[in-house]
Amino acid sequence: MASLLGRFCRKLVVPGSAHGSRMVSTTSCDSEAVKSLNLYSAINQALHIALETDPRSYVFGEDVGFGGVFRCTTGLAERFGKNRVFNTPLCEQGIVGFGIGLAAMGNRAVVEIQFADYIYPAFDQIVNEAAKFRYRSGNQFNCGGLTIRAPYGAVGHGGHYHSQSPEAFFCHVPGIKVVIPRSPREAKGLLLSSIRDPNPVVFFEPKWLYRQAVEEVPEHDYMIPLSQAEVIREGSDITLVGWGAQLTVMEQACLDAEKEGISCELIDLKTLLPWDKETVEASVKKTGRLLISHEAPITGGFGAEISATILERCFLKLEAPVSRVCGLDTPFPLVFEPFYMPTKNKILNAIKSTVNY
């Protein structure tokens, strides 16, 4: 099922920043009512719609009552009441455990973990409980109504504990889904799909884009399918795969590469678990080269899974080794962030060396 509006029917504007300018504009589609929204507003809209369309849905977590530290939950408590939208004690394992209990009783629990960096106390509940709830019970019970939202990723000044990208830990857990949107329009549709998916979903939101990314977002209720990657830029020389905020950086690298005569195909994975191998495989079979980029440290990062799978499937078609441009194997540093990050030029260098292999 294709998304309601094709990728040409939106306008993505991300003002310039230390990460390089990020202007990408395409023609706007006006058959549906749209509004220019940033990421947190798009997510807020999705939450409003989710609560409106299912009276048995709940939103809770630390500080969500007043709107949340990133304003994603603005207006929800006022509109839907404190019984459905509420603050919780400061306890991630409690938040997720409570959410599992609610979901197991047939409700939708959309819980917020304030920063992905703080999700670890809930790791046991996510891995040992939520992920296995249906399987271990022989499908007598399930907590599919659980969705865990958490802001992730670099923000320019976050350091160790406000910048992490922990997606790799969760991609190793059969039974949950891991979804990461790249923009406001994508986030709204993917979040609604995640909330309504009958499986527990971990939804990482690129905090860098909460205010920075502005896009025309349709006002109505729409969903973007999970486990379907999207080719957001067509090319013939090399395939680039990424997710979340990193895609805007990769897009810039693609533009620069184009000036040097290299045609890049860029894929947004969107869902990391279960991931769409077929789309990536088809692209690499066409281009013969693969580059993966993510903020998370390179060793054991999700890029390794993509690389290994594509190697298995496309070995004879590959013209060069799979390239990974990722964060360094260090805790996320503060003053050294510009050195740590997989920047546009690091990606550009890797594109060139892959093409010239």
Partner 1 sequence: MAIWFARSRTLVSSLRQNLGLSAIFIKHNYSSRRPVFTNSQLSPRVFLDPFSSYRHESTAVETHPYLVQQSDHEDDAQELDFPGGKVGYTSEMKFIPESSSRRIPCYRVLNEHGKIISDSDFIPVSEKLAVRMYEQMATLQVMDHIFYEAQRQGRISFYLTSVGEEAINIASAAALSPEDVVLPQYREPGVLLWRGFTLEEFANQCFGNKADYGKGRQMPIHYGSNQHNYFTVSSPIATQLPQAAGVGYALKMEKKNACAVTFIGDGGTSEGDFHAGLNFAAVMEAPVVFICRNNGWAISTHISEQFRSDGIVVKGQAYGIRSIRVDGNDALAVYSAVRSAREMAVKEQRPVLIEAMTYRVGHHSTSDDSTKYRAADEIQYWKMSRNPVNRFKKWVEDNGWWSEEDESKLRSSTRKQLLQAIQAAEKWEKQPLTELFNDVYDVKTKNLEEQELGLKELVEKQPQDYPLGFHN
Tokens 């991931």 label which residue? Answer: 275
Q: Which of 48, 62, 92, 129 is catalytic?
A: 92
Footprint of partner 1 on 237-276 (CB under 8 A): 274
Q: What is the DSSP letter of 125?
A: I
Residue nearer to partner 1 on the CB measure, 7 or 118: 118
Residue 332 CA to its chain's centroid (Å): 19
Tokens 């990974």 label which residue? Answer: 324
Footprint of partner 1 on 178-197 (CB under 8 A): none
Q: What angle do CA 103, 201, 151 make, to 5 degrees?
A: 115
Q: Parallel, antiparallel, or unpaired for β 12-14 and 22-24?
A: antiparallel
User: Is 129 part of the annotated catalytic residue set?
Assistant: no
Name the CA dihedral angle for 257, 302, 20, 149, rounded to a multiple of 10 degrees. Answer: 140
Cβ atoms 344, 253 nearer than 8 A: yes
For residue 30 the two structure tokens come to 């006006």
Q: Is 88 in the site for partner 1 (CB under 8 A)?
A: yes
User: Is 162 part of the annotated catalytic residue set?
Assistant: yes
Among 11, 20, 54, 93, binds partner 1 (CB under 8 A): 93
Q: Is 223 in the site for partner 1 (CB under 8 A)?
A: no
Among 25, 31, 33, 138, binds partner 1 (CB under 8 A): 138
Residue nearer to partner 1 on the CB measure, 52 or 278: 278
Among 117, 129, 268, 281, binds partner 1 (CB under 8 A): 129
237 conformational bin, left if phi > 0, alpha if psi -120 to 50, beta if neither: alpha
C-alpha to C-alpha distance for 119 and 177, rounded to whole angstroms: 15
| Region of 21-29, 171-179, 290-298, 317-325 interacting with partner 1 (CB under 8 A) | 171-179
Among 6, 18, 36, 124, binds partner 1 (CB under 8 A): 124
Q: Is 97 in the site for partner 1 (CB under 8 A)?
A: yes
Can you give the C-alpha Rg of the chain in angstroms? 20
Q: Is 121 in the site for partner 1 (CB under 8 A)?
A: yes
Q: Is 132 in the site for partner 1 (CB under 8 A)?
A: yes
Q: Which of 19, 48, 162, 294 is catalytic?
A: 162
Residue nearer to partner 1 on the CB measure, 101 or 333: 101
C-alpha to C-alpha distance for 1 and 3, rounded to whole angstroms: 6
Considering CB under 8 A, how many residues would be counted as binding partner 1? 46
Cβ atoms 96, 149 nearer than 8 A: no
For residue 280 the two structure tokens come to 């990536």
CA nearest 195: which of 230, 148, 227?
148
| Region of 17-25, 119-127, 158-166, 334-342 interacting with partner 1 (CB under 8 A) | 119-127
Among 94, 156, 225, 333, binds partner 1 (CB under 8 A): 94
Cβ atoms 60, 86 nearer than 8 A: yes
Residue nearer to partner 1 on the CB measure, 15 or 106: 106
Q: Which residues bind partner 1 (CB under 8 A)?
A: 83, 86, 88-89, 91, 93-94, 96-107, 109, 121, 124-125, 128-129, 132-142, 144, 174-175, 177, 198-199, 227, 274, 277-278
Supply the residues annotated as catalytic: 92, 162
